[in-house]
Amino acid sequence: MAETVTAYVKNVRDTAKSFWEGMSVTLSYMFRKPITTQFPDRMGVPVQQTIPARYRGFLEVDMDICTACLACERACPISVINIDTIKGDGKTKPKLAMERFDIDIGKCMYCGLCVEPCPTGAIQHTREFEGATMNFNNLTLRFVPDALSPIAAYKVPKGSDAFPRRQLGEITRKLIKAWDAPPPPFPSEEEAKQDHGKPKATGLDPAAMGRTLAAKALQVKEDKPKLQKVIEEAMAGTDCGDCGYPDCFGYSNAIAQGKETSAEKCAPGGAESKKMLETILVSLKTGVVPGAPAEAPAAAPAAAPAAAEEKPKGPPLAQTLSKDELYKVVLDAMAGTDCGDCEYPDCDGYTKGIVYEGQTDLNRCAPGGEDTRTKLYEIMLGTKPPPK
């Protein structure tokens, strides 16, 4: 392979030149600030501030402006949000309050669908994301800290479109802080020995509960789906699958259908479930609740037809009251969250629609649920609502 002198010299020159260029580039990087951020402990600013504003981190609910409309709960495709509401008389207790507002962050898939329908912007994604915890249960964010002191739902002032929200992230950060608390201590050997064999302090009397359930079961003996529900109440309800059925429904349904006769299969329920199930099975077989006062089984079947009978009633309120009085009554029956799910702007609009504009669909108040439906049918038609 012949090589000309020019090519030879060019090779040497190219080598020198590429060294010159390359080494000046690497040296220039040496004297520049490294791009690495030293997360988590050597950050100039908290890491949350370095994340884009629209980052979808942990959810946060500002209970001060939550209307308890349940729009987020319904929007969640995987039931991460759980809200329990409680109704009051509006005088000593708030008309609508929340006993529970839990978001299971361990299950949340950060889709953001709950944020969209919120009428006041109470539920938002924060930029918090560090979810490591000693106890998996910690991952449920409880925005109502105490179920015994429910938080009143926010009543949206007429015509307002801006709501006083707390600083985003503040509330969730406080809840997460609690995660740092150590997990409950592991019981020592002595403690474990003491606990063993002691009846659990549940306050539940399995014998009495079994009799109650057995009585109920006798009432609905022929209605298999209802019977199944009664039987399922005697089980632990953990859907563990230890019984050989996929879940509690499977086991209880098998008993209801008469295909299963063993009462011993509910492992999490233990001795209590076994006792209750035995009571139910015996009573189903004999038609008498064992060990119960004599009149109980007799009274139960008597009560059943009585409850089923329709009580004669007067005409519905809609026909007896004036429109303006009716308006007040109907508005009272609504959930009062102004969520807008009824396709009216607020509760006021829906009420006016029903009372003055001849709206016949009484099923639209989503946050009120079955309760509101029953009331509305009672008021407007004087009947029970049809099943959904």
Partner 1 sequence: MQSFLDSLIKNAGHDPATWPWTQFVYLAGMGAAAFIVINFAAITAGIFSWAERRVAARMQSRVGPNRVGPGGFLQWVADAVKLLLKEDLVPAEADSVLFRAAPYFMMVGFACVFVTLPFSHRLIVADMNVGIFFIIAVTALIVVGIIMSGWSSNSKWSLFGAIRSAAQIISYEIPGGMALMVPVLLAGTLSTQGIIRAQGGLPWQWFIFDNPAATAAFFIFFISALAEGNRTPFDLPEAESELVSGYNTEYSGMRFSYFFLVEWGNMWVMSALATTMFLGGWQIPFLSADEFDKLTGGLAVLAEVGSLAIFAAKTLFFVFVVMWLRWTLPRIRVDQMMNMCWKYLVPISFAGVLFVAVWMLIVHAAPWLGVAMRVALTAGGGALLAMFVMRTLKNIRDTGDKFDFTSNW
Scan for tokens 């329709």, then name that residue. Answer: 310
The angle formed by the CA atoms of residues 234, 280 and 209, to the nearest 5 degrees, is 50
Give min distance, CB of 51 to partner 1, in A: 19
Give min distance, CB of 180 to partner 1, in A: 22
Give min distance, CB of 49 to partner 1, in A: 17
> Judged by CB under 8 A, which stretch of 28-36, 85-93, 260-268, 331-339 contacts partner 1?
28-36
Q: Can residue 38 be called a binding residue for partner 1 (CB under 8 A)?
A: yes
Q: Which of 5, 6, 34, 91 forms a contact with partner 1 (CB under 8 A)?
A: 34
> Judged by CB under 8 A, which stretch of 35-43, 231-239, 272-280, 350-358 contacts partner 1?
35-43
Q: Which of 31, 177, 294, 309 forms a contact with partner 1 (CB under 8 A)?
A: 31
Return d(Cα 4, Cα 9) in angstroms, integer: 9
Q: Can residue 30 be called a binding residue for partner 1 (CB under 8 A)?
A: yes
Q: Can residue 202 be called a binding residue for partner 1 (CB under 8 A)?
A: no
Q: What type of residue sits at position 171?
A: I
Q: Can residue 36 be called a binding residue for partner 1 (CB under 8 A)?
A: yes
Q: For residue 291, what are the contacts with CB-CB under 8 A and spacing of at least 6?
A: 207, 211, 279
Give min distance, CB of 9 to partner 1, in A: 11
Taking the CB of residue 371, how many other CB atoms lie within 10 A of it? 14
Task: Name the nearest CA neighbour of 367 among 345, 338, 326.
Answer: 338
Size of the site for partner 1 (CB under 8 A): 21
Q: For residue 370, what are the contacts with CB-CB under 8 A and spacing of at least 6?
A: 385
> Judged by CB under 8 A, which stretch of 20-28, 74-82, 179-187, 220-228 contacts partner 1?
20-28
Nearer to partner 1, 39 or 356 (CB): 39
Q: Which of 27, 132, 162, 201 forms a contact with partner 1 (CB under 8 A)?
A: 27
DSSP 186: P
DSSP 308: H
Return d(Cα 371, Cα 335) in angstroms, integer: 9
340 in Cβ contact with 346 (< 8 Å) = yes
Q: Can residue 35 be called a binding residue for partner 1 (CB under 8 A)?
A: yes
191 in Cβ contact with 159 (< 8 Å) = no
Give min distance, CB of 35 to partner 1, in A: 5
Q: Can residue 23 be called a binding residue for partner 1 (CB under 8 A)?
A: yes
Return d(Cα 67, Cα 65) in angstroms, integer: 6
**Distance (Å) of CA 9 to CA 4, 14, 16:** 9, 9, 11
Nearer to partner 1, 27 or 308 (CB): 27
The three-class DSSP label of residue 42 is strand
Q: Which of 2, 6, 7, 33 forms a contact with partner 1 (CB under 8 A)?
A: 33
Nearer to partner 1, 9 or 192 (CB): 9
Positions in the binding site for partner 1 (CB under 8 A): 3, 11-12, 19-20, 22-36, 38
